[in-house]
């Protein structure tokens, strides 16, 4: 049975008064992660941050594999780590949002650092994220890139890097547009001011929902793009998993302002548009496609240099074709599946 909705701001004031020495609470939602949880926990244990000022809260969401046992064994000698079993729902929260809602109730830090079980953060992560936040920020986003060696994995790596680089450029221009739910700092005060996930309408893209709600309250969001907040994640293993993940994200993307949604749709359907144009103006069509491809390759070069990553011209060219094929298909699938429930770790949402 769902718990009644409550306003949590007063609870936050009491908690921070009683435990002012805890600066950061890392919130980690896990479900059926036995094959990836240990590298994630090892990275969190290696954070260059005083252990008396940080806590790591792990919400174990009814896993049916060995995830819970692996966590308990790992944290047995780490008093600043806690594993919290998630057995019910709070308000309207579900899936990852429900786990985060439970963890936020337990957290004592002024800032929540949120990541995922398939992510490995750098030792500098907590310190760099905290140092970047100022009094106006509810959210600070880090950078996550994909690791892998196959063509598909390499294309995904460039995809993540370039998408976050675009968000970084928008943020620098005063136009923040998203939150990165696997590499994010969230101010506890702002979280409780909007009511917490249990008091928000459920969204399968809970990070974007929190971004929107904090923006309504007048809080700012900052996107970072530097090696100190660069985390590594796993690639989607195949096209089916990729489309399942991206369809969830597309639900959130379709809520962004129309002036940004239209360019996204054009870029996604750039290939069929240019091919259609080629029947009437082949040289213009080729010129448009080459110009956009060169622009993307140029951005990839700038972004990779800033992060100290090695991306070859082949990686950039691979990404150009990957983007056209996969995102064009994704947009079509979104409209075909927009009223259907989507899968999240074995649950239909």
Give the per-residue pLDDT at 265. Answer: 58
Give the per-residue pLDDT at 334. Answer: 61
Running DSSP on this structure, what letter comes out for residue 255?
T
Give the per-residue pLDDT at 5. Answer: 43
Q: Comparing C-alpha atoms, which of 342, 347, 293 is closest to residue 322? A: 293
Give the per-residue pLDDT at 285. Answer: 78
- State the architecture of 9-142+180-235 in CATH terms: Alpha-Beta Complex (3.90)
Give the per-residue pLDDT at 203. Answer: 82
Give the per-residue pLDDT at 9. Answer: 45
Answer for the pair 63, 30: CB distance below 8 angstroms, yes or no: yes
Q: How is the chain split into domains, by residue range?
A: 9-142+180-235, 252-344
Give the per-residue pLDDT at 7. Answer: 43
| Residues in Cβ contact with 155 at an 8 Å cutoff, skipping those fewer than 6 apart | 315, 318, 319, 322
**Euclidean distance between CA atoms 261 and 334, whole angstroms:** 14
Answer for the pair 127, 60: CB distance below 8 angstroms, yes or no: no
Give the per-residue pLDDT at 2. Answer: 43
- pTM of the predicted model as reported, rounded to 2 decimal places: 0.85
| Residues in Cβ contact with 69 at an 8 Å cutoff, skipping those fewer than 6 apart | none
158-to-35, 162, 173 alpha-carbon distances in Å: 24, 6, 23
| Residues in Cβ contact with 98 at an 8 Å cutoff, skipping those fewer than 6 apart | 61, 86, 89, 90, 197, 198
For CA atoms 209, 212, 216, 220, the dihedral sign is positive
**From first to last of its 349 residues, what are the pLDDT tens digits of the chain?**
444 444 454 455 445 444 457 899 999 999 999 999 999 999 999 999 999 999 999 999 999 999 999 999 999 999 999 999 999 999 988 889 999 999 999 999 999 999 999 999 999 999 999 999 999 999 999 999 999 899 999 999 999 999 899 899 989 998 887 899 999 999 999 999 999 999 998 887 899 899 999 999 999 999 999 999 999 999 998 988 888 888 877 766 666 665 555 555 555 556 666 667 777 888 887 887 788 889 889 999 999 999 999 888 899 888 888 887 887 777 666 666 665 665 656 665 5
Answer for the pair 60, 68: CB distance below 8 angstroms, yes or no: yes
**Euclidean distance between CA atoms 19 and 267, whole angstroms:** 49
Radius of gyration of the chain (CA): 21
């Amino acid at each position: 049975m769902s718990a009644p909705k409550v306003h949590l701001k007063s609870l936050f004031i009491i908690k921070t008064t009683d435990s002012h020495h805890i600066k950061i609470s890392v919130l980690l939602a896990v479900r059926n992660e036995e094959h990836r949880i240990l590298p994630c926990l090892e990275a969190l244990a290696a954070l260059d941050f005083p252990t008396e000022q940080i806590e790591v809260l792990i919400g174990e969401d009814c896993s049916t594999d060995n995830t819970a046992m692996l966590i308990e064994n790992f944290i047995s000698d780490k008093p600043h780590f806690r594993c919290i079993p998630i057995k019910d729902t709070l308000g309207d929260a579900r899936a990852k949002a429900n786990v985060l809602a439970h963890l936020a109730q337990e957290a004592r830090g002024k800032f929540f650092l949120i990541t995922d079980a398939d992510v490995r953060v750098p030792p500098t992560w907590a310190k760099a994220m905290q140092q970047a936040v100022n009094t106006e920020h509810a959210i600070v986003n880090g950078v996550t890139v994909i690791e892998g060696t196959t063509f598909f994995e390499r294309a995904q790596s460039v995809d993540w890097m370039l998408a976050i680089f675009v968000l970084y450029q928008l943020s620098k221009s005063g136009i923040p547009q998203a939150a990165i739910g696997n590499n994010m700092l969230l101010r506890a005060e702002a979280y409780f001011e909007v009511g917490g996930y249990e008091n928000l309408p459920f969204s399968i893209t809970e990070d974007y929902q929190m971004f929107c709600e904090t923006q309504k309250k007048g809080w700012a969001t900052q996107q970072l793009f530097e090696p100190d907040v660069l985390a590594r994640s796993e690639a989607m293993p195949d096209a089916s998993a990729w489309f399942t993940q991206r369809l969830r994200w597309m639900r959130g993307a379709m809520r962004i302002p129309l002036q940004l949604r239209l360019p996204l749709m054009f870029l996604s359907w750039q290939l069929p548009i240019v091919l259609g144009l080629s029947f009437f103006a082949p040289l213009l069509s080729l010129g448009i496609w080459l110009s956009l491809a060169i622009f993307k390759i140029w951005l990839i070069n700038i972004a990779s240099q800033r992060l100290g990553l090695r991306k070859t011209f082949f990686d950039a060219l691979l990404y150009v074709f990957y983007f056209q094929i996969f995102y064009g298909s994704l947009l079509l699938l979104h409209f075909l599946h927009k009223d259907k429930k989507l899968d999240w770790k074995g649950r239909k949402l």
